[in-house]
């Protein structure tokens, strides 16, 4: 027969262990907070510096919407141009955030989760180990600001072996003038899963000033595939500072598509992907248009850290009077790795600028890293050729631009390719 005093000792031991864990977590949180406070004036490595104090951290609560079809028609039209379907047809789930409020969050497929990041942290104690793991709180003033003043964000996960029937969609919308929206997103494709995500970002066209800071951390587990398509349709006077990083395990695939074709004041992002498992693969595809008054500083870092890992970074950039910096850095650290960096730019108007900045860093013999960059204009002979076949000059230019922006993305699901083509075609109308 067991001594009851032993049970008491075990109970006390368990209680002490829980107290110790809570104390350790509290200490970690305090240290992160101090790191963030220390980085509040730390400028980003690239892009224009922004005075964070000029933006408001307060926004009124918005009522939850059980049915997105109840949204005003103007709002529905705005977010549709960013790839968000308010009818939720052909979507496996939806997250919709307006200013600082979670407006709608619903899943339509078993084995796929979508929650606000706050609800997810309350539901899963283990999620804190994923939070701020890939993106440090003191990376720069924007990460620090987002840590100290969080405004929700989403958690999306595909369970092991689950394949999304349709893409999951997430929308970040800003309607209040002079507001900063700080969000933190975590996406996990568990082992053997296939997860497709469309994120659409938009703002009310009457906004005179605003800032969006988006922290996103991606985890692609062994043999999983994550396709992430981000479409920006911000207002002309918005500043945007995404901060994201991804880790890909063995035989995992991460495909990241980024589209920014509408007017914006400034955008600066430099996502990083770490290929940590053998035969891991990442593909980045960026489609960028800078209208007059826009500054786009977009880059990516890929660190190939495991044998057989592969990477492809492709950018298509058009300056319609604005300025674009297209950066790319490939770092080869393992045997039998292969990576290619490609940037092509077109300057349509005087006063515009495109600067391509490719970087290759190798640490071992036998690695295969390459890059290709070209910046130019539409050749007159191409326009003449199409006009000789019955097109007007405007139609000829539109056809050439459309062909230039069309990127064949290997492995992209049919639904996402269709959505990608629709958004590009819609954006071309305002460009031309």
Same domain, 271 and 356: yes
**Are 391 and 361 in contact, with CB atoms under 8 Å apart?**
no
What mean pLDDT comes out for the span 34-50?
Answer: 94
The answer, yes or no, to whether residue 15 has pLDDT greater than 70, is: no
Report the distance separating Cα 239 and Cα 258, nearest Å: 16
401 pLDDT tier (thresholds 50, 70, 90)? confident
Give per-residue pLDDT as tens, 156-198: 999 999 999 999 999 999 999 999 999 999 999 999 999 999 9
pLDDT more than 90, % of the chain: 66
337 pLDDT tier (thresholds 50, 70, 90)? very high
Same domain, 358 and 432: no
Is residue 187 assigned to a domain?
A: yes
Range of 410's domain?
A: 380-432
Same domain, 168 and 138: yes
pLDDT more than 70, % of the chain: 88
Give per-residue pLDDT as tens, 298-317: 999 999 999 999 999 999 89
Is residue 5 assigned to a domain?
A: no
Is residue 21 assigned to a domain?
A: no
Same domain, 113 and 261: yes
**Which one of 344, 361, 379 terminates a domain?**
379
Q: What is the pLDDT of residue 135?
A: 97
Find where tokens 């009851």 sit.
4
Give the predicted TM-score (pTM) of the model: 0.88
Same domain, 405 and 285: no
Q: What is the pLDDT of residue 167?
A: 93
Count how many domains the chain has: 2
The answer, yes or no, to whether residue 1 has pLDDT greater than 50, is: no
Same domain, 265 and 413: no
Is residue 243 assigned to a domain?
A: yes
Give per-residue pLDDT as tens, 112-133: 999 999 999 999 999 999 999 9
Same domain, 430 and 300: no
Is residue 90 assigned to a domain?
A: yes
Is residue 408 assigned to a domain?
A: yes
Same domain, 278 and 384: no
Same domain, 280 and 349: yes
Q: What is the pLDDT of residue 19?
A: 65
Is residue 13 assigned to a domain?
A: no
The answer, yes or no, to whether residue 424 has pLDDT greater than 80, is: no
**Which one of 354, 379, 404 terminates a domain?**
379
Same domain, 419 and 343: no
Same domain, 374 and 416: no
Q: What is the pLDDT of residue 407?
A: 64
Is residue 20 assigned to a domain?
A: no
Same domain, 157 and 297: yes
392 pLDDT tier (thresholds 50, 70, 90)? confident
Q: Which two structure tokens, joined as six digits, stand for 316? A: 């298509």
């Amino acid at each position: 027969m067991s001594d009851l005093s032993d049970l008491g000792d075990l109970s006390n031991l368990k209680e002490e262990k829980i107290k110790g864990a809570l104390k350790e977590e509290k200490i970690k949180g305090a240290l992160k907070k101090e790191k963030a406070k220390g980085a509040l004036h730390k400028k980003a490595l690239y892009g224009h510096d922004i005075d964070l104090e000029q933006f408001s951290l307060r926004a009124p609560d918005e009522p939850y919407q059980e049915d997105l079809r109840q949204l005003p028609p103007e709002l529905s039209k705005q977010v549709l141009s960013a790839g968000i379907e308010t009818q939720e047809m052909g979507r496996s789930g939806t997250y919709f955030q307006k200013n600082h409020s979670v407006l709608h969050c619903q899943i339509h497929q078993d084995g796929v989760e979508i929650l606000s990041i706050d609800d997810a942290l309350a539901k899963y104690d283990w999620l804190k180990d994923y939070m701020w793991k890939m993106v440090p709180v003191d990376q720069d003033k924007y990460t620090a600001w987002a840590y100290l003043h969080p405004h929700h964000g989403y958690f999306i996960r595909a369970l092991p072996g689950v394949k999304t029937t349709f893409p999951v969609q997430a929308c970040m919308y800003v309607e209040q003038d002079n507001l900063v929206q700080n969000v933190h997103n975590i996406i996990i494709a568990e082992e053997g899963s296939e997860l497709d995500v469309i994120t659409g970002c938009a703002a009310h066209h009457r906004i005179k000033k605003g800032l969006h800071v988006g922290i996103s951390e991606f985890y692609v587990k062994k043999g999983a595939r994550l396709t992430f398509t981000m479409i920006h349709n911000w207002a002309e006077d918005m500043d945007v500072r995404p901060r994201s990083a991804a880790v890909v395990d063995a035989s995992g695939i991460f495909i990241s598509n980024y589209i920014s074709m509408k007017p914006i004041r400034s955008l600066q992002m430099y996502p990083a992907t770490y290929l940590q498992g053998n035969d891991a693969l990442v593909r980045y595809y960026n489609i960028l248009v800078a209208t007059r008054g826009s500054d786009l500083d977009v880059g990516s870092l890929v660190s190939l850290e495991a044998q057989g890992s592969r990477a492809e970074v492709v950018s298509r950039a058009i300056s319609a009077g604005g300025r674009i910096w297209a950066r790319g850095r490939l770092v080869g650290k393992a045997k039998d790795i292969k990576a290619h960096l490609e940037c092509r730019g077109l300057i349509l108007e005087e006063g515009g600028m495109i600067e391509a900045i490719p970087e290759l860093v190798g640490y071992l013999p036998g690695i295969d890293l390459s890059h290709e960059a070209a910046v130019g204009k539409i050749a007159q002979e191409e326009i003449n050729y199409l006009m000789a076949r019955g097109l007007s000059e405007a139609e000829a230019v539109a056809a050439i631009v459309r062909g230039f922006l069309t990127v064949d993305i290997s492995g992209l699901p049919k639904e996402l390719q269709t959505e990608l083509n629709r958004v590009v075609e819609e954006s071309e109308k305002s460009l031309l």
